[in-house]
């Protein structure tokens, strides 16, 4: 039978964040991911707009993984009338629950603080969503297994496949009328410290592939040596090493590497403080799902015992007042919110401080400003001079680089009818488009936000 599929590009199109793709068919309307925009103000403002589709007609949401830019818009979707199932792997939904509750709490706190200190144009400032709205959303979660085809209707089925990147992450294969739509989600690295190599799709009629590092190769860095050198320099300066970290995966990887360095006598027993309530919760998810990562029980326990886990805001201040040289790992990874702001407000104007950025820094974030060498940085409406040394470790990225993306695609046995490049800034998208054309000679397109693609199958 002739069928018509309509693909709505509602996010992560010509930008990295805000992943949202609506697939409309005669049998089911399926949303792949439902993330928040992060970074530039003009992007963040898009979060407050209702989606340009009838949300009540969406039957279900399939999640590739639990990061905020893939799940953070879900409570707004529910608010706009969505009442279907939200489906992901067990670790994905566990992480999404942590992230949604945490982000709702931050939204509520920031709105309250903005109203109290009057640094807002809005009267009153409102949270993007509340804890109650997050909890209402979480009640729609439904776990599904990886590696298993699930029928949604007569002609539609889907499958989750392991994708590295973070705990629980998958790419999604969606079969509609015998045509395969593959959504890459975020593709992980090969030879990761904690995760197995990503699986690769074997067939794709329509491929939607992330391009975050579509124009880059991660440097061949000796991560352990670089970290050891920075830590020894921190001890020499009697200062603080502050690592803004994503709570999911990056924080656990850093804990693992630091523990290994100590074990190998590469660094002394410098105090390590982990200040990320969300990161602590994600550690618990690692404990619950041992089949999804490479850590043994004994390694996991030793790594956790090697660090000081901060439980309260009072302890945050005690850590700042602690005069010993130390390592502080705190959320958020792009310095957009979270506990790391408190440390940086107090310590970024000291020459003895080192700030180590360990992941992708989106345009418009404080992390990108620091990466680009900003001489001052704004917290809660006040500017602070940057006297700290700012460093960057790109090879700890959880995203595949250009070669790894091409390798991931190389498992596809057919020639896709169309390849859509998503999740990238314009320069990365265009470079990757040219590279795919030169390598495979496939038909590549770069959709823009709110584009609609009509496909006859």
Instruction: Give the pLDDT mean for 406-421.
Output: 98
Per-residue pLDDT tens over the stretch 51-108: 999 999 999 999 999 999 999 999 999 999 999 999 999 999 999 999 999 899 989 9
Instruction: Give the pLDDT mean for 373-382.
Output: 93
Assign residue 356 a region (left: φ > 0; alpha: ψ between -120 and 50; beta: otherwise).
beta
CA atoms in the 13 A half-sphere facing the CB of 270: 28
List CB contacts of 40: < 8 A, sequence separation 6 or more: 362, 363, 364
Query: Does pLDDT of 312 surpass 70?
Result: yes
Cα 16 to Cα 92, 194, 213, 364, distances in angstroms: 20, 24, 10, 12
pTM for the model: 0.92
Helix (H) or strand (E) holding 231: helix 223-237
Residue 2 is predicted with a pLDDT of 61
Q: Exposed e or buried b for every residue in 262-288, given b needs 16+ CB within 10 A?
A: beeebbeebebbbbbbbbbbbbebbee
Here the tokens at position 28 are: 């089911």
Please provide the DSSP assignment of 278-297 as one string. Answer: HHHHHHHHHHH-GGGSS--H
Per-residue pLDDT tens over the stretch 223-281: 999 999 999 999 999 999 999 998 888 899 999 999 999 999 999 999 999 998 888 88
Q: At what angle do helices 313-321 and 340-347 cross, to 10 degrees?
A: 30
- C-alpha 358: how far from its chain's center? 13
Query: Does pLDDT of 39 surpass 80?
Result: yes
Local structure of residue 17 (DSSP, 8 states) = S
Instruction: Give the pLDDT mean for 305-326.
Output: 95
d(CA 353, CA 388): 5
Residue 432, phi then psi, degrees to nearest 5: -70, -35
Per-residue pLDDT tens over the stretch 317-374: 999 999 999 999 998 889 988 899 999 999 999 999 999 999 888 889 999 999 999 9
Query: Does pLDDT of 314 surpass 60?
Result: yes
Instruction: Give the pLDDT mean for 282-287.
Output: 93
The percent of the chain in helix, strand and coil, each rounded to the nearest 5, is 35, 20, 45
Instruction: Give the pLDDT mean for 202-206.
Output: 98
C-beta of residue 242 within 8 angstroms of C-beta of residue 330: yes
Cα 195 to Cα 250, 280, 309, 425, distances in angstroms: 11, 18, 23, 26
Please provide the DSSP assignment of 400-457 as one string. Answer: --HHHHHHHHTT--S--SEEEEESS-HHHHHHHHHHHHHHH---EE-PPTT-EEEEE-
List CB contacts of 372: < 8 A, sequence separation 6 or more: none
Enumerate the β-bridge partners of residue 421.
209
d(CA 239, CA 359): 22
d(CA 96, CA 70): 9
Residue 117 is predicted with a pLDDT of 82
Per-residue pLDDT tens over the stretch 113-126: 888 887 666 778 89
């Amino acid at each position: 039978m002739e069928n018509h599929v309509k693909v709505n590009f509602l996010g992560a199109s010509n930008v990295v964040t805000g992943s949202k793709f609506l697939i409309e068919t005669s049998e089911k309307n399926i949303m792949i991911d439902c993330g928040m925009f992060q970074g530039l103000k003009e992007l963040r403002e898009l979060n407050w707009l209702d989606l340009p589709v009838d949300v009540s007609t969406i039957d279900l949401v399939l999640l590739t993984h639990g990061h905020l830019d893939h799940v953070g818009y879900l409570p707004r979707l529910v608010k706009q009338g969505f009442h279907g199932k939200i489906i992901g792997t067990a670790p994905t939904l566990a992480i999404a629950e942590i992230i949604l509750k945490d982000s709702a709490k931050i939204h509520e706190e920031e709105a309250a603080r903005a109203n109290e200190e009057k640094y807002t144009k809005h009267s009153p400032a409102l949270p993007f969503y509340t804890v109650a709205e997050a909890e209402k959303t979480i009640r729609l979660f439904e776990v599904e297994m990886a590696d298993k085809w699930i029928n949604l209707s007569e002609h539609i089925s889907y499958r989750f496949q392991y994708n590295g990147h973070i705990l629980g992450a998958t790419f999604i294969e969606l079969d509609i009328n015998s045509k395969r739509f593959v959504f890459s989600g975020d593709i992980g690295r090969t030879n990761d410290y904690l995760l197995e190599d990503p699986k690769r799709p074997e067939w794709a009629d329509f491929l939607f592939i992330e391009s975050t590092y579509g124009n880059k190769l991660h440097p061949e860095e000796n991560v352990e040596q670089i970290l050891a050198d920075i830590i020894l320099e921190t001890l020499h300066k009697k200062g603080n090493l502050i690592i803004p970290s994503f709570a999911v995966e990056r924080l656990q990887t850093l804990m693992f590497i630091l523990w290994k360095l100590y074990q190998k006598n590469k660094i002394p027993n410098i105090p390590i403080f982990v200040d990320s309530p969300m990161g602590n919760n994600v550690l618990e998810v690692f404990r619950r799902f041992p089949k999804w990562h490479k850590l043994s029980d004994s390694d996991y326990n030793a790594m956790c015992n090697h660090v000081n886990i901060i439980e309260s805001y009072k302890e945050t201040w005690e850590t700042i007042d602690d005069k010993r040289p130390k390592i502080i790992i705190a959320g958020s990874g792009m310095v957009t919110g979270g506990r790391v702001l408190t440390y940086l407000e107090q310590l970024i104007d000291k020459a003895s401080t080192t700030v180590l950025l360990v992941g992708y820094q989106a345009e418009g974030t404080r992390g990108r400003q620091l990466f680009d060498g900003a001489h001052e940085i704004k917290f809660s409406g006040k500017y602070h001079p940057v006297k700290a040394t700012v460093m960057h470790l790109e090879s700890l990225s959880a995203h595949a680089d250009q070669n790894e993306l091409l390798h991931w695609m190389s498992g596809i046995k057919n020639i896709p009818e169309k390849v859509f490049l998503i999740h990238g800034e314009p320069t990365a998208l265009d470079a990757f488009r040219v590279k795919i054309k030169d390598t495979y000679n496939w038909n590549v397109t770069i959709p823009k936000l709110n584009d609609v693609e009509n496909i006859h199958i």
